[in-house]
Every structure is written in C-alpha cells, then in structure tokens.
Chains A and B, each alone.
Chain A
Amino acid sequence: MSRARNLTGMRILLAPALAVLLALPFVGCRAMARAGQAAGVVTPEQADAMIKTGDSFGKALEQITPEQEYYVGRAVGATLMSTHKGYDNAAATRYVNLVGQTLAMGSDKPETFGGYHFLIFDSDEINAFAAPGGLIFLSRGMLRLCKTEDELAAVLAHEVAHVNLGHAIAAISNSRWTQAFTILGTEGAKSFGGEQLSQLTTAFEGSIDDITSKLVTSGYARGQERAADALAVTILRRVGYDPGALARVLGNMAHDLKPGGVDFAKTHPPPQARIADLSKMKFAPPAPAPAARQQRFQQSMRGV
C-alpha cells in the first residue's frame, strides 16, 4: 500500500480518536480528578470534591469559546486594575512572567486565545486574582510573602489552576448567558445592529460583574479552592518545582494574614485548612534547588 493511501486510511481511523482526545479538556475537573487519583496525587476526598465542583459548572463554561473567554478576561482585568495601581518594576515583572510561563506550559490548558500574562499590582494586601483566559494579577504583599522561587511558583500555579479549571467563567450566572444568546439567536445577527450590540454589552457587563464580585468579594467555593490547590501541586511536579512549597507559602500566609482583612483573608479558606488538605497528598520531594535559583529570586525581588 502506498504511503498516501496509508495516510488516508489513517485519517478515517483517527477521527473517533480525535473526538475523544479533544473532548478531554472540556470534561475538565472530572477527567483531571480521575487522572490525579490514578497517579496517586489527589486523595479520594479531593477527587470527589473536584467532581462535585465540575458538576455545578454553568452554561457559560460549557459553551464559551477561547476567543470569548479572552474578551471577558480583558474586561475583568481592566475592572480589577481600575481599583489597583500597577507596580512599576520591570525586573520583578519579567521574573514573575518567566516563572508563570513555565507553569502555564506544564498546566492542563497551556494554550489560551491570548496566552498567559502576569502583572504585579502595588499593594501591601496579600492578594492574587486570575481573570479568564490567563491574565493573572498578584500584589506586592503576596510577593513579599514568598521566600523562594518555589513558593512564588506555588502561588502562581494556584492561579494558573483556576484558569485551567474555568472557575471564573463558571461564576457567570446562567441567566446572563441565556440573555446573551437569546440576543444572538436573532435572525441575521451576523453583524449586529446598534440595539443588539447594546443588549449584548449589557450581558457582557453583567458577566464581568459576576466574575469580579466572585474574585474580590465572595470568593470561590471551598471545593474549587481545593481543586485549584490539587492541580497546582500537579503543575509544580510536572515542571520540576517543589510541590511542598504550596504548604510552606500557606504557612507564611497563616502567619501574616490579618483576620478581617479584605484580601485572601476574605476570599479564601483559612490557610491552615488548606495546609491540612495538602498534607494528605503524597509526593516525592524534588532535588534540592541549586543556589542559582535562590540568587535570582533574591535579585529579582530586590526592592519589592
């Protein structure tokens, strides 16, 4: 049989395989939970929690395209940054982007429409946000909490995990999504009229509100945070950072977070509870970090 004919035959056979392989990222939590369980990374309780979280995902997460997620993420980011000032430190920003990018590459969803980008905002609060599509924001206060590159990687991996798991998009209420798509269902909406666009923008604004209030005020469900921590550990392992660094940075947080604060103290489970969950996960410690890693961390964090 000629090579060309082989390839044609192969393409037909490949079709069902592709359908399944491509469906996997969209199965999301459930598949991740099972894979993690099989690899002995996630405890059965965590896997259950992750699956439950997956079951409660809304219409937006099922239906959104990467391109739409990108535009939602930009507006969420711009809204967050309207109350936070950017931190002008090129060396620290570059460094955080380098660490973050290697984690994104080792994550379950390395490709997003516009890619992953990281910004430091100038605040003493201990905080970090992940907008849809991979725009990740962290405070100077959060950076100061990190004593090593591995601890910084742990913080960033947790945020990358929220992006992978679609948690922000899942915060969009079903009614907004229905509203948006009712407008779009209108015949001939290929290029909008002014009124359709205006209605669509209203649904967009509502979606941005849903997400920012989740990020800034109410926080994710406990199960979602647990899922993000579990995936963060997996990402750290894949890239080669110490998975134990997540529990360590949470320990720093337990020490430094002020009760009643409007930052992580408000939107996240107590660090001690997250450390307790992480202590159930088993992983081999990686090779010790060479001195060069700590040197570049200290150099990049100088002045932060």
Chain B
Amino acid sequence: MRIRPHLLAVALAMVMAGGAYAAVSADMSVQIRNAQLRATPSYLGKVSGNVPYAQRVQIMQVQGDWFEVRSGTATGWLHKSALTTKKIAAKSGAADVGATASGEELALAGKGFNADVEADFKKKNAKIDFGPIDRMEKIKVSPGDARAFLEQGGVKAATGGAR
C-alpha cells in the first residue's frame, strides 16, 4: 500500500500545475557540492550517506520538502533544494566540480562562472584576498552539533522543530 501517498502527491501536483506538466524522469541530479543523505526526512536525522555533485539519484518517495532517494546501494532523504531534474555532466574522475561541463538546460552552467573564472579573476584582482572566504568555508556545523545546540538552548518550535 506504499503507493497511495505517491498517488496523492501526483494528484496534488497536477492540481497545482493546473494540468500543465512536463514528463520528466523520476531520476534527479544532486546540484550541491556534497549532499548528505539522512535517515529521516529532517536535518536532525542521522547522516546515512553522502552523494557528490552531479550524481543521478532515483526518487523513492516524497514527503513535504524531502525526497527519499536511492544512490547505488545507499538510500536516504534529501531536501528538495539539493536536487534538480536537470542532468549535470561531471567530467569523469574530475575532483574539481568547477571544471565540470553540464548537459541539457544546464549546458551552459559548467562553462559559466566557475573555478577557471575565479582563477582568472584572482589574477586580475591581486588585491582581493580570498583567504577569509576559504577560512569561513572551513567552519562546519554537523547535524549533531546543531541538534545539541538547539536542545541545550531549549529552542523548540511549537510545530515540531527545524524541518
């Protein structure tokens, strides 16, 4: 009976779309540098895996803003803002996502403002120091840290906490 919520979601989507919807695959791409899969549809859920940029994932079910996805043998939940229906073509074996090129509507994206452009910008603007930015990006707050912080401060939404 797992199918029922999905039929509901489809019906809702069709109503919202006013009947005009495009046929897309139920596979989607990760559009952020590193997506963390969670065991439950919440940022407070345990991290159950990682999916890199441009990786295609299969959608299992949808719950509010959260999609349960499968990537290889791993399954878990991702917030919808981590996903796109578009295909992103990562260069095979490329460690630097800035050097990727993309397909379909994203064809221009990998070729747009990327790591190459940043490098050229740095060359032409030697006085602009990226050091503070590199350092601030290193600051990481894990879901566990966030959960403990909210609990310690007694920060609790009436409707069940952070999404």
Which of A101, A108, A135, A205 counts the most B-chain CB atoms under 10 A from its CB? Answer: A101
Shortest CB–CB separation between residue B76 and chain A, in angstroms? 14
Segment 134-163 of B: residues with Cβ below 8 Å from A: 135-137, 139, 141, 145-146, 149-150, 152-159, 161-163
Q: Mark A47-73, 1 if CB is under 8 A from B, else 0.
A: 000000000000000000111101110
- Which B residues touch A86, using CB under 8 A? 132, 135
Check B7–A13 contact: CB distance below 8 A.
Answer: yes
- Which A residues touch B26, using CB under 8 A? 11-12, 14-15, 18
Check A293–B153 contact: CB distance below 8 A.
Answer: yes
Q: Is B94's CB within 8 Å of the partner chain A? A: no
Segment 68-102 of A: residues with Cβ below 8 Å from B: 68, 70-72, 74-75, 77-79, 81-82, 86, 93-94, 97-99, 101-102
Q: How far is the CA of A99 from the CA of B97 in the complex (A)?
A: 29
| Contact A205/B124 with A240-B150, A289-B154 known, Cβ cut-off 8 Å | yes
| Contact A110/B79 with A184-B112, A237-B157, A287-B156 known, Cβ cut-off 8 Å | yes
Q: How far is the CA of A110 from the CA of B163 in the complex (A)?
A: 10
Check A68–B112 contact: CB distance below 8 A.
Answer: yes
One of B58, B108, B146, B159 near A105 (C-beta < 8 A): B146
Q: Is B77's CB within 8 Å of the partner chain A? A: no
Q: How far is the CA of A141 from the CA of B106 in the complex (A)?
A: 42
| Chain A, residue nearest B124 (CB) | A201
| Contact A67/B97 with A81-B133, A98-B149, A102-B150 known, Cβ cut-off 8 Å | yes
Q: How far is the CA of A72 from the CA of B109 in the complex (A)?
A: 13
One of A16, A78, A237 near B129 (C-beta < 8 A): A78
Check A135–B133 contact: CB distance below 8 A.
Answer: yes
- Which B residues touch A114, using CB under 8 A? 32-33, 137
| Contact A292/B146 with A10-B6, A18-B59, A105-B162 known, Cβ cut-off 8 Å | no
Q: Is A180's CB within 8 Å of the partner chain B? A: yes
Q: How far is the CA of A177 from the CA of B112 in the complex (A)?
A: 10
One of B16, B84, B97, B154 near A287 (C-beta < 8 A): B154
- Which B residues touch A65, using CB under 8 A? 31, 102, 106, 109, 112
Q: How far is the CA of A184 from the CA of B7 in the complex (A)?
A: 41
Shortest CB–CB separation between residue A156 and chain B, in angstroms? 13
Q: How far is the CA of A180 from the CA of B101 in the complex (A)?
A: 16
| Chain A, residue nearest B7 (CB) | A13
- Which A residues touch B159, using CB under 8 A? 238
Check B128–A82 contact: CB distance below 8 A.
Answer: yes
Check A71–B98 contact: CB distance below 8 A.
Answer: yes
Check A67–B153 contact: CB distance below 8 A.
Answer: no
Q: How far is the CA of A287 from the CA of B163 in the complex (A)?
A: 19
Interface residues on A, range: 35 or more
- Which B residues touch A74, using CB under 8 A? 118, 130, 133
Q: Is B48's CB within 8 Å of the partner chain A? A: no
Q: How far is the CA of A98 from the CA of B32 in the complex (A)?
A: 21
Check A240–B132 contact: CB distance below 8 A.
Answer: no
- Which A residues touch B155, using CB under 8 A? 102, 239-241, 293
Q: How far is the CA of A79 from the CA of B132 in the complex (A)?
A: 10
| Chain B, residue nearest A186 (CB) | B111
| Chain B, residue nearest A205 (CB) | B121
Q: How far is the CA of A9 from the CA of B143 in the complex (A)?
A: 35
- Which A residues touch B116, using CB under 8 A? 192, 197
Q: Can you pick out 20 interface pairs between chain A and chain B where the beta carbons lie within 8 Å of each other?
A: A7-B60, A10-B2, A16-B17, A16-B22, A18-B67, A20-B21, A22-B84, A25-B80, A66-B31, A67-B97, A67-B98, A70-B33, A101-B146, A105-B43, A111-B79, A114-B32, A117-B136, A192-B116, A287-B154, A292-B152
**3 tightest Cβ-Cβ pairs between the two chains A and B:** A16-B21, A17-B13, A101-B141
Q: List residues of B whose CB falls within 8 A of some A CB.
A: 2-3, 6-7, 9-10, 12-14, 16-17, 21-26, 28, 31-33, 35, 43, 53, 58-60, 62, 67, 78-85, 97-98, 100-102, 106, 108-118, 120-121, 124-125, 127-130, 132-133, 135-137, 139, 141, 145-146, 149-150, 152-159, 161-163
